[in-house]
Chain A
Amino acid sequence: METLTKRKPSLIKQQAPLRDSTHLMDMCMACGTCSAGCPLTGVDGFDPRKIIRMVLMGRDEELIESKLPWLCTMCGKCEHACPMGINIISTIRTIRGMVDRDKVPGMIHKGIELCLETGNNIGLPEEDFVFIIEDVGEELAAMPGFADFKVPIDKKGANILHTLHNKLVNTQNEDLVHWWKIFYAAKEDWTVPKQNWEGVNWGLFSGDDEAMKLSVGRIVDNMDQLGITNLMYPE
């Protein structure tokens, strides 16, 4: 056992935004509410109150190096019942953001890099994207009731900008048509951009504010360029 002399100040604590300025992370009374409510408690050593206590003890590095922050689904159930209003979720995201980008597990950061490069998380070239959605659009037009349906791409002055979850364009094409059908029935004036159509923003998950901001900025640019007033939130 290591002997504690002086606690290191925690950068995580400093950077993690509070839920409310009166509810400091230090106020955690380690009551166990979060741990009792989290389905992950006990899995691979995961325990929300332990993570908070580690932050308060200045054990940043251990947390940054562990897989614990990546196990959390950031669902916020722990915070929902927390009597002290501790910012558990923003703490997790802050830890994630402090991990070297090349150590971010799985697809998350790779997707972000692709997105920054190509405008979507799967790196799909523009021609392929247009081909896929026009193809699915034609299939829909062939169905009874949807005569003359066409996917409006980059339509200037449309009422609503619609973005797409990459998995619909990638492996789950069959789920593209649901909203198209609804738009068609509602006689909505909508459009999909052919550039930067990505609807999900993984910077939220990786704690990468820069990437997150860039993706949101692209949506804003699309709307400005196409002269569109209304946005349908991607997710």
Chain B
Amino acid sequence: MNQPANILVIGAGISGIRSALDLAELGYKVCLLDRAPAMGGILTRLDRQFPNNHCGICRMLPMFDRDNSEEFCLRKGLSHENIEVLLSTEVIAVEGNPGNMTVTAVKQATGVDADRCIGCQECEKVCPVEVPDTFNAELGKRKAIYLAVPYQMPNQRVIDLQACTRCGECVKVCPTAAIDLERTPETLTFENIGGVVLASGTGLFNPQDMDIYGMGHFPNVVTSSAFERILSSSGPYQGSLIRPSDQHPPKKIAWIQCVGSRNPMIGADYCSSACCMISIKQALFAKERLGSDTQTTIFYMDMRTFGRDYQRYRDQAEKENNVAFVRCRIHSIEPNEEEGNLKISYVDHSGKPVNAVFDMAVLATGKDPLRKLPDFAAHPGIIATDAVSEWMDIGSSVVSASGVSERLARMLSSAGIKPEKQATAPLSDKVAGSPHLQVVLCSCNGSLDKVIEENQLAAELKKIPGRIDIMQAKSVCDAEGLDQVKEILLNGPANRVLFAACNAQVFRPKLKQLAAVTGIPKEFMDVVNLRGLTENAASHDLLGEIMNQLEMRANRLFRKKITPADVRPIQKTALVIGSGPAGLSAALALAAQNIKVVLVEKKETIGGNFANIHDAQIREMIGQLMDEAKDHPLITMHTDTEVINNAGVAGQFVARLRHANGAETTVLHGAAVIATGGGKADLPADTLADNKIISLYDLEAELNQPGIDAANINTVVFMQCIGSREEPRNYCSRICCLKSLKTAMKLKELNPNCDIYVFYRDMMTYGESEKFYTQARAKGIIFIPFEKQEKPAIKIESGRVLVEGYDPVLNEPVCIEADRVALASGLIPNPVDLVASTFHVETTQDGFIQEADSKWRPVDTGREGIFVCGLARGPVRADEAVQEGKAAGLRALRILARDTIPASQHSAYVRHAICSLCERCIAVCPFDARYVDPDLGRIMVDPVACQGCGVCAAECPNGATLIGDFEEYGVMDEIEAALG
């Protein structure tokens, strides 16, 4: 990084990475800090995530201008031109005002100099100290000098200075003198910081001190994060699902929900939101690994499957995979006769006590109630992500983090801080000349001399056809060695460099430095891991192997050429479709960054469901957005208008709007945000057989009438999930539980003597909204659970409305005569057929717009330049819709804030002469990057949308499609060399 950072992001977990990437992509210089010695936060321990059961964190990587970052797994590390990552570093003080803050941090000594460590692991081999492996939930051992995350890149070691005995064995063997045991912590001061993102997470509850679960007493009681490690191939058992006590595969596994959550007695009056889905996922994995006859039982109070696709995930687990769900919070885990087995007592649906025996129990732990925010958290200029106060699933964290990025970007622009234009180093003139390769052979301070005869190697290298210079260096990882290389590159004839040194991941950052100084692009440089190849020196023909590698890379470098970057000018206008809270906040996010916004609303008024919202706080929030948008000079509103056509590619779209009077307008825009919203689902007419039976929405409206007299409303029954969470509308509408609670409490306020009953399937008061559930009970509201197959019945008998159900708590049928029955009918999306076909985006079976990835790219669609947020994507609360709007706005801003977008080195292109226009490539492109240009009669590639994945090249029957930088002959040469 050339310029110092102007933004600090504290915490390099999911939220921190997202926020850092957002801001880096806008062009800000970001410093990403974490107090841990590795980045990735909780995700380093989580291999696969629901509901796709795989990982997709790489989907957070920049989708264009990709050459600015290394494209590898974000769990391993992050490399971006605009991001500096500082690990083992903790912020201790923040001073100053937004726009000009001073931040003090302490960088802990890790005992290993990251500039020198080449990840050779010699130190780890000789370290005599073994301690419990905290990364693997202490189920195994590690050395005192170790890799904080086993698969991290670069794979540089750190020392656990608490465990280290200072015996000095590692110092002796380190070839690069990277270890210094006497190093002390260093204080870092960051000045002129514009703003700070606090994304330090919430920490994970440790159930060790709860005597009821026997954690620490029974080896086979593990936390859910330990279970993730057991499932992982980088875990304590190399991915075998076995239990700790005897290393046998378990046959019966229990999951215990809400360990440390939903427990005000330990200060945890909240739901940790993600644990229910995590447990279902883990149960499915257990079945997958150990066979379908493995018994998996989840003990729960409410299965909080409130995400759009989560109910079907649960149903599938229950029906197709036979995961057992038992609604009972268990008291304790006890030992059973057989060694290692566990006894769990519970009461079943009829109140009968059951003693069940399991081989293993998994405690679903969530947020740590003891974790406090740092003192400086409230300092002006610091914006915290939601994930520092709530545990949440990845999708929500990502949305929240982007929302925070948006607020920070807005804060910076109002403080007059603009991202600095990337100063690209000018290319050296000789780059255009014919290839001339400089090979640098590093002896690693002489340590490689013992295994390889460098002169012999040099002689071999000379045999490779092409112009090659060879330089032998003592060590290229220190400044002196690197300076020598710079000297040769600046003054010599070579325009390509190949290092025979060590780990490429460690070495690559040095190539960037070298490129900046020499004017030779880093794509013209490569590294062969000489040290890695010498590891098994005795077992094979070492010289041959090394030569293979060198020749392969050399051939590739010879073939490299400068591809003139396709630079596309950006149409700096955004199109936002829908003017509810999501659309308005997206529009305002963009307008705040000086982007013109065309806001299209189908109805005659803006505000979406504003008219139907009664919650004062939410009304105020949306009202404010409406006022701001109406007054904003950069926002043009078209009510009574629909988008009927949209063509083009990200950065350059043309849309046609049709107004109510039939007139049409053409809009040139660079990105579009779909926020078409949704609304209340209607109840079938036959359910409303009496005027005492009304929808929840109507009761809410009734109670919010001014001067309402509720004295005669004495008994009210709320019924949840009417139409929701079963086919055909098998998703949780997400807002009804909270709405019922708020309405019921309003009723209690108006008439404290009113008896209120809520029949529910699972109370979906996730996160902090759990507090409303607790408060509602405290007010005397009675909650009665029911199962989908035994819904309470509503009967009308001589003018009386009776609700008949079964109360599993009393183990008795109940019959309640009600003055009102409020039915929670849920949410449905507004029709999206037109917008989906206009913008070529996919829809879900329930008629929502399908996002690119529900976890990692939650507000992107499959088409670059088209974004989605709010109810159009899935059920959300109004505050969540606002958050999504900000996130979608920010994603669009990545494109719109630029004047041009450079294409990537690795984009597909078409050799039109041999293209048969079969269009098979268009069908297979996962990024919608290909289209037929009807005027030219050619297949076109949008090099911005193209991610260089190569599916088109594989599909093309004529070899007409090629991937830049992977031309056939270059790759063939490489393969040839590899084959020796």
> A residues bordering B, Cβ < 8 Å?
1-7, 22-24, 26-38, 41-42, 47, 49-50, 53-54, 56-57, 77-78, 80-85
**A6-B755, A42-B352, A57-B782 known; A81 vs B331 contact (CB < 8 Å):** yes
Interface residues of B in 297-347 (CB under 8 A from A): 301, 327-332, 345-347
Kindly provide the distance from the CB of A31 to the nearest chain B CB, expressed in whole angstroms: 4
User: Would you call B331 and A37 a contact (CB within 8 A)?
Assistant: yes
User: Would you call A33 and B330 a contact (CB within 8 A)?
Assistant: yes
Kindly provide the distance from the CB of B803 to the nearest chain A CB, expressed in whole angstroms: 9
Beta-carbon nearest neighbor of B763 in chain A:
A29
Q: Is B415 an interface residue (CB 8 A)?
A: no
A209 and B513 CA atoms in complex are apart in Å by 83
User: Would you call B328 and A5 a contact (CB within 8 A)?
Assistant: no
User: Would you call B814 and A4 a contact (CB within 8 A)?
Assistant: yes
User: Would you call A50 and B809 a contact (CB within 8 A)?
Assistant: yes
A59 and B352 CA atoms in complex are apart in Å by 21
Beta-carbon nearest neighbor of B329 in chain A:
A31
Q: Choose among A2, A54, A56 the residue that contacts B815 (Cβ–Cβ < 8 A).
A: A2
A78 and B777 CA atoms in complex are apart in Å by 20
User: Would you call A32 and B329 a contact (CB within 8 A)?
Assistant: yes
**A3-B802, A4-B817 known; A27 vs B774 contact (CB < 8 Å):** yes
A85 and B774 CA atoms in complex are apart in Å by 12
**Interchain residue pairs with CB less than 8 A apart (5):** A6-B714, A26-B780, A31-B301, A36-B353, A42-B352
B767-781 interface code vs A (CB 8 A; 1 in, 0 out): 000000110011110
Which residues of B lie under 8 Å from residue A3 when comparing CB positions?
A: 802, 815-817
The interface centre, meaning the residue of A28, A34, A35, A80 with most chain B CB atoms within 10 A of its CB, is A35
User: Would you call B353 and A42 a contact (CB within 8 A)?
Assistant: yes
Which residues of B lie under 8 Å from residue A42 when comparing CB positions?
A: 347, 351-353
A37 and B871 CA atoms in complex are apart in Å by 43
Q: Which of B259-267, B621-629, B886-894 contacts A (4 or more CB under 8 A)?
A: B259-267
Which residues of A lie under 8 Å from residue B237 when comparing CB positions?
A: none
**A6-B755, A35-B353 known; A80 vs B212 contact (CB < 8 Å):** yes
Kindly provide the distance from the CB of A143 to the nearest chain B CB, expressed in whole angstroms: 43
Q: Choose among B258, B714, B777, B810 the residue that contacts A28 (Cβ–Cβ < 8 A).
A: B777
Kindly provide the distance from the CB of A81 to the nearest chain B CB, expressed in whole angstroms: 5
The interface centre, meaning the residue of B327, B802, B810 with most chain A CB atoms within 10 A of its CB, is B810
B806-832 interface code vs A (CB 8 A; 1 in, 0 out): 010111111111000000000000000
A50 and B773 CA atoms in complex are apart in Å by 20
Kindly provide the distance from the CB of B375 to the nearest chain A CB, expressed in whole angstroms: 27
> B residues bordering A, Cβ < 8 Å?
212, 258, 262-265, 301, 327-332, 345-347, 351-353, 714-715, 755, 773-774, 777-780, 782-783, 785, 802, 804, 807, 809-817
Which residues of A lie under 8 Å from residue B778 when comparing CB positions?
A: 24, 26-27
User: Would you call A41 and B347 a contact (CB within 8 A)?
Assistant: yes
User: Would you call B265 and A84 a contact (CB within 8 A)?
Assistant: yes
User: Would you call A5 and B810 a contact (CB within 8 A)?
Assistant: no
User: Would you call A54 and B810 a contact (CB within 8 A)?
Assistant: yes
Which residues of A lie under 8 Å from residue B263 when comparing CB positions?
A: 83
3 tightest CB-CB pairs across the interface, nearest first?
A: A37-B331, A31-B329, A32-B328
**A1-B814, A29-B777 known; A83 vs B353 contact (CB < 8 Å):** no
User: Would you call A36 and B352 a contact (CB within 8 A)?
Assistant: no
Which residues of A lie under 8 Å from residue B815 when comparing CB positions?
A: 1-4
A54 and B810 CA atoms in complex are apart in Å by 7
A38 and B351 CA atoms in complex are apart in Å by 12
Which residues of A lie under 8 Å from residue B814 when comparing CB positions?
A: 1, 4
Which residues of B lie under 8 Å from residue A32 when comparing CB positions?
A: 301, 327-330, 346-347
User: Would you call A83 and B809 a contact (CB within 8 A)?
Assistant: no
A85 and B262 CA atoms in complex are apart in Å by 12
A27 and B777 CA atoms in complex are apart in Å by 5
The interface centre, meaning the residue of A33, A50, A82 with most chain B CB atoms within 10 A of its CB, is A33
**A3-B816, A4-B815, A6-B714 known; A36 vs B264 contact (CB < 8 Å):** no
User: Would you call A56 and B301 a contact (CB within 8 A)?
Assistant: no
Which residues of B lie under 8 Å from residue A56 when comparing CB positions?
A: 780, 782
Which residues of A lie under 8 Å from residue B301 when comparing CB positions?
A: 29, 31-32
Kindly provide the distance from the CB of B329 to the nearest chain A CB, expressed in whole angstroms: 4
Which residues of B lie under 8 Å from residue A27 when comparing CB positions?
A: 264, 774, 777-778
User: Would you call B351 and A83 a contact (CB within 8 A)?
Assistant: no
A49 and B783 CA atoms in complex are apart in Å by 13
Kindly provide the distance from the CB of A20 to the nearest chain B CB, expressed in whole angstroms: 9
User: Would you call B347 and A35 a contact (CB within 8 A)?
Assistant: yes
Which residues of B lie under 8 Å from residue A29 when comparing CB positions?
A: 262, 301, 773-774, 777, 783
User: Would you call B782 and A6 a contact (CB within 8 A)?
Assistant: no
User: Would you call A84 and B810 a contact (CB within 8 A)?
Assistant: no
Which residues of A lie under 8 Å from residue B328 when comparing CB positions?
A: 31-32, 35-36
User: Would you call A83 and B774 a contact (CB within 8 A)?
Assistant: no
Which residues of A lie under 8 Å from residue B755 when comparing CB positions?
A: 4, 6-7
A47 and B815 CA atoms in complex are apart in Å by 22
A50 and B810 CA atoms in complex are apart in Å by 5
Beta-carbon nearest neighbor of A32 in chain B:
B328
**A26-B779, A81-B332 known; A53 vs B810 contact (CB < 8 Å):** yes
User: Would you call B265 and A37 a contact (CB within 8 A)?
Assistant: no
User: Would you call B817 and A82 a contact (CB within 8 A)?
Assistant: no
User: Would you call B331 and A34 a contact (CB within 8 A)?
Assistant: yes
Given contacts A32-B346, A41-B351, 6 further A-B contacts (CB under 8 A): A1-B804, A36-B345, A42-B351, A84-B264, A85-B264, A85-B265
Kindly provide the distance from the CB of A78 to the nearest chain B CB, expressed in whole angstroms: 8
User: Would you call B777 and A33 a contact (CB within 8 A)?
Assistant: no
Which residues of A lie under 8 Å from residue B353 when comparing CB positions?
A: 35-36, 41-42
Beta-carbon nearest neighbor of B804 in chain A:
A1
A37 and B328 CA atoms in complex are apart in Å by 11
Kindly provide the distance from the CB of A11 to the nearest chain B CB, expressed in whole angstroms: 15
Which residues of A lie under 8 Å from residue B816 when comparing CB positions?
A: 3-4
Q: Choose among A4, A26, A53, A83 the residue that contacts B265 (Cβ–Cβ < 8 A).
A: A83
Q: Choose among A24, A26, A28, A36 the residue that contacts B331 (Cβ–Cβ < 8 A).
A: A36
User: Would you call A36 and B265 a contact (CB within 8 A)?
Assistant: no
A210 and B353 CA atoms in complex are apart in Å by 37
**A6-B714, A47-B347 known; A83 vs B329 contact (CB < 8 Å):** yes
Kindly provide the distance from the CB of B197 to the nearest chain A CB, expressed in whole angstroms: 34
A49 and B811 CA atoms in complex are apart in Å by 11
Kindly provide the distance from the CB of A201 to the nearest chain B CB, expressed in whole angstroms: 29
Which residues of B lie under 8 Å from residue A4 when comparing CB positions?
A: 715, 755, 814-817
Which residues of A lie under 8 Å from residue B783 when comparing CB positions?
A: 29-30
**A2-B815, A41-B353, A84-B265 known; A26 vs B777 contact (CB < 8 Å):** yes
Which residues of A lie under 8 Å from residue B809 when comparing CB positions?
A: 30, 49-50, 53
Which residues of B lie under 8 Å from residue A33 when comparing CB positions?
A: 329-331
Kindly provide the distance from the CB of B269 to the nearest chain A CB, expressed in whole angstroms: 9
A17 and B627 CA atoms in complex are apart in Å by 52
Which residues of B lie under 8 Å from residue A30 when comparing CB positions?
A: 783, 785, 809
A53 and B345 CA atoms in complex are apart in Å by 21
A34 and B265 CA atoms in complex are apart in Å by 14
Q: Choose among A34, A38, A50, A83 the residue that contacts B262 (Cβ–Cβ < 8 A).
A: A83
Kindly provide the distance from the CB of B753 to the nearest chain A CB, expressed in whole angstroms: 8
A168 and B804 CA atoms in complex are apart in Å by 57
Which residues of A lie under 8 Å from residue B813 when comparing CB positions?
A: 1
Kindly provide the distance from the CB of B92 to the nearest chain A CB, expressed in whole angstroms: 35
Kindly provide the distance from the CB of A47 to the nearest chain B CB, expressed in whole angstroms: 6
Beta-carbon nearest neighbor of B753 in chain A:
A6
Kindly provide the distance from the CB of A208 to the nearest chain B CB, expressed in whole angstroms: 29
Beta-carbon nearest neighbor of A30 in chain B:
B809
A124 and B804 CA atoms in complex are apart in Å by 58
Which residues of B lie under 8 Å from residue A6 when comparing CB positions?
A: 714-715, 755
User: Would you call A36 and B347 a contact (CB within 8 A)?
Assistant: yes
Beta-carbon nearest neighbor of B777 in chain A:
A27
Beta-carbon nearest neighbor of A42 in chain B:
B353
A171 and B715 CA atoms in complex are apart in Å by 58
Which residues of A lie under 8 Å from residue B351 when comparing CB positions?
A: 35, 41-42, 47, 50
Which residues of B lie under 8 Å from residue A81 when comparing CB positions?
A: 212, 331-332
Which residues of B lie under 8 Å from residue A1 when comparing CB positions?
A: 804, 812-815
Beta-carbon nearest neighbor of A22 in chain B:
B264
